[in-house]
Amino acid sequence: MCGIVGYVGGAECVPILIDGLKRLEYRGYDSAGLAIHDGQKIDVVRAVGKLRELERALEQRPLSGQTGIGHTRWATHGSPTEVNAHPHVAGDVAVIHNGIIENHLALRAELEAGGRSFASDTDTEIIAHLVDEELRRDADLEQAVRGALRRVQGAYAIAVTSVREPARLVVAKSASPLVIGLGEGENFCGSDIPALLPYTRRMIVLEDGQMAVLERDGVRLSTLDGASVEPQVRSIDWSPVMAEKEGYKHFMLKEIFEQPRAIEDTLRGRLDREHGDIAGVEFGLTQADAAAIERVVLLACGTSHHAAMIGRYYIEELAGLGASVELASEFRGRDPVVGSGDLVVAISQSGETLDTLMAARLAKGKGARVLAIANVMGSAIPRMADGELYTRAGPEIGVASTKCFTTQVAALLMLAAYIGRRRQVLSPERLGALVEEMARLPHLMRDVLQGTRQLVANLARRYLTARDVLFLGRGLSFPIALEGALKLKEISYVHAEGYAAGEMKHGPIALIDSEVPVLVVVPDDSCRERSMSNLQEAKARGGRIIAVSTEGDDEVGRLADDRIEVPAADPLLSPLLTILPLQLYAYYVADLKGTDVDQPRNLAKTVTVE
């Protein structure tokens, strides 16, 4: 949470920093600020609210310079006010920070006792004071940051500038993400890759415990202890256009419609249609490794957790292995029984979610093999894992995840099929047929999106005033019901419950009356008959039934008030089709209500706090 960006070079840096912050705004949008070195002094402008407020403030107080740092905040310590907005300044130093300094209270007391006074309630201001103290002992900025960080415990990605060193930034990281972009006569830093994409594709992903000095003509990496580090420069193949809206009203809508392409890219080179197998991707697992797996544990948060729930069905059905799904935050709250013999699959769009990262580390520490499924290349979770599989969704900007969810599900399907085949649980014939079905997915998804868009928009309008919405599903459709409800809650602020259809009679049935739309996900699979009974139960209580079902299912058509159809396909693929109208439903409700679809209140896309 929080986005940071920095620039040092020969250009006017304010527009570059603002542009970078726009791309990072999904990480937090409570307040924003810039600190710009004009060669003589550092000027700071900050504003409460979204970036446009900062832009307005800059119209009143323009800044100019060729070295600068910028920040967009998701408040943790201290309410979202201007004094708590970053950058924080102490003496000659300005700092931006993403993360949490755990020992800030003790450090603050100590610094105050030494005569320092604080302007904000933040943990970050501590860092500015500590660096300034070191500078006053005649350290240069690099030494000063190193000295300050020795005293600090917690998670941080920071960028620091000093009045004394006009053309230099010092950055450092522990737990929170930080990327360095390499330009010609200019260098950049940012919280993630898309922030820097318009300027360079050559990036260094900083590791925990590393820091770097950025100057116009070079970047020097070292550990916090001062040992120099040889940088590993990556060439990023995402294009800057992928982080633009391309004519769509919102990123979320664009990302919903990008899903056929995202799935195509995620499957590309990984489906061997000639031999009917999963190929070109090993997941860090040899045949012997696959055979030795005794159990699979899937770890994730939020939407990725719903993908993990679908993954469990796939692993059980295709790989014949026991599988459990864990909310990463809860897994960490126990002393979980996990160890060698377990394959732990950590699923995370950002690859940075702190709970997922820590849970995966816990499992690894207990001897489990960790496989990461992530979207952001070089992010923390794949870096710590024994094997990784990248979804190739491209940058996801909308805070509510859509294309990353479906690509995660596709990745899990490939993983389960891969393991199943190597354990000889899954027959070559079944796998061959599945591979053919998967190859059809982009085409089927396009059909669903085009075919249901208008109908779903109409339904959203019709049920716009509903205060509660119920989503029901069984089997593979249960996580889809949860995800449909989460999408609606996240972006439209309508109360929604996702429930296992069979559990409805144990509680949520009490919510149903003629005012409550009930979205029943009932594709043609082995759960259909039982879901139909639940649909009837909801209807008998006066619920307005919107069914998401397989094309030509006339029985559903007769019972439901409204029907959204998806094409017939292998039942294992159904979640990838039925989720699409539910994403659209949430989108249209939110858009009609006029909420901030891409940046819903209180949320942030990458959650690096516990």
Considering only residues 564, 578, 605, 608, which one is a binding residue for ligand G6P as defined by CB under 6 A?
605
Q: Which of 527, 309, 572 is nearest to 431 (CA)?
A: 572
Min CB(411)–ligand G6P separation in Å:
12
CB of 379 to ligand G6P, least distance (A): 9
Contacts of 547 (CB under 8 A, 6+ apart): 519, 520, 521, 522, 535, 556, 559, 560, 562, 563, 564
Q: Cis omega before residue 15 (within 30°)?
A: no
Interface residue with ligand G6P among 285, 301, 445, 480 (CB under 6 A) is 301
* Stretch of 195-203, 229-237, 587-595, 602-610 contacting ligand G6P, by CB under 6 A: 602-610
Closer by beta carbon to ligand G6P, 129 or else 489: 489
Largest CA distance in the chain: 81
Residue 178 Cβ vs ligand G6P, minimum distance, rounded to whole Å: 16
Q: Of 66, 84, 161, 349, which one interacts with ligand G6P (CB under 6 A)?
A: 349
- Decide whether 2 or 559 has the Cβ nearer to ligand G6P: 2
CB of 224 to ligand G6P, least distance (A): 26
Question: Hey, which residues between 351 and 380 contact ligand G6P (CB under 6 A)?
Answer: 353, 356
β pairing state of 271-272 and 322-327: unpaired
Q: Which is nearer to ligand G6P, 236 or 486 (CB)?
A: 486
- CA-to-CA distance for 10 and 187, rounded, in angstroms? 10
What secondary structure does DSSP assign to 509-569, as a single string? GGG-STT-EEEEEE-SSTTHHHHHHHHHHHHHTT-EEEEEEETT-HHHHHH-SEEEEE---
Nearer to ligand G6P, 532 or 576 (CB): 576
Q: CB of 600: closest distance to ligand G6P in angstroms?
A: 9
Contacts of 334 (CB under 8 A, 6+ apart): none
Q: Tell me how far CA of residue 607 lies from CA of 159, 276, 326, 334, in angstroms.
A: 19, 39, 17, 21
One symbol per residue from 531 to 570: x for binding ligand G6P (CB under 6 A), - otherwise; what is it?
A: ----------------------------------------
Member of 348, 407, 534, 583 binding ligand G6P (CB under 6 A): 348
Element spanning 131, H or E = helix 124-136
DSSP E strands: which ranges in 259-392? Answer: 271-272, 277-278, 295-300, 322-327, 342-348, 369-374, 387-390
Q: Position of tokens 């590309």?
A: 268
Residue 270 near ligand G6P by CB under 6 A: no
Over the window 394 to 433, marking each residue x when it contacts ligand G6P by CB under 6 A and - when it does not, the resulting string is -----xxx--------------------------------
Q: Which is nearer to ligand G6P, 400 or 415 (CB)?
A: 400
**Interface with ligand G6P by CB under 6 A: which range of 52-60, 175-183, 281-289, 300-308?**
300-308
Q: Which of 76, 350, 578, 599 binds ligand G6P (CB under 6 A)?
A: 350
> Smallest distance, Å, CB 603 to ligand G6P?
5
CB neighbour list of residue 380: distance below 8 Å, 6 or more residues apart: 175, 177, 208, 351, 352, 357
Query: Which candidate in 173, 403, 489, 605 is catalytic?
Result: 605
Residue nearest to ligand G6P (CB): 302
Q: How many residues bind ligand G6P (CB under 6 A)?
A: 16
Catalytic entry in 2, 13, 301, 527: 2
Cα dihedral: 70, 381, 307, 264 (round 10)? 80
> 350-384 burial by CB neighbour count: b if 16+ within 10 A, else e?
bbbbbbbbbbbbbbbeeebbbbbbbbbbbbbbbbb
Applying CB under 6 A, among 194, 302, 479, 523 the residue interacting with ligand G6P is 302
Active site residue 527: no
The contacts of residue 29 (CB under 8 Å, 6+ apart) are 49, 50, 51, 72, 73, 74, 599
Pick the binder of ligand G6P from 167, 466, 603, 609 (CB under 6 A): 603
Rounded CA-CA distance 44/34 in Å is 6
Residues 129-148 that bind ligand G6P (CB under 6 A): none
Nearer to ligand G6P, 161 or 599 (CB): 599
Q: Is 2 a catalytic residue?
A: yes
User: In the bound complex, what is the minimum distance in angstroms from residue 302's beta carbon to ligand G6P?
Assistant: 3
Q: Which residues are at the interface with ligand G6P (CB under 6 A)?
A: 301-304, 348-350, 353, 356, 399-401, 603, 605-607
Residues taking part in catalysis? 2, 605
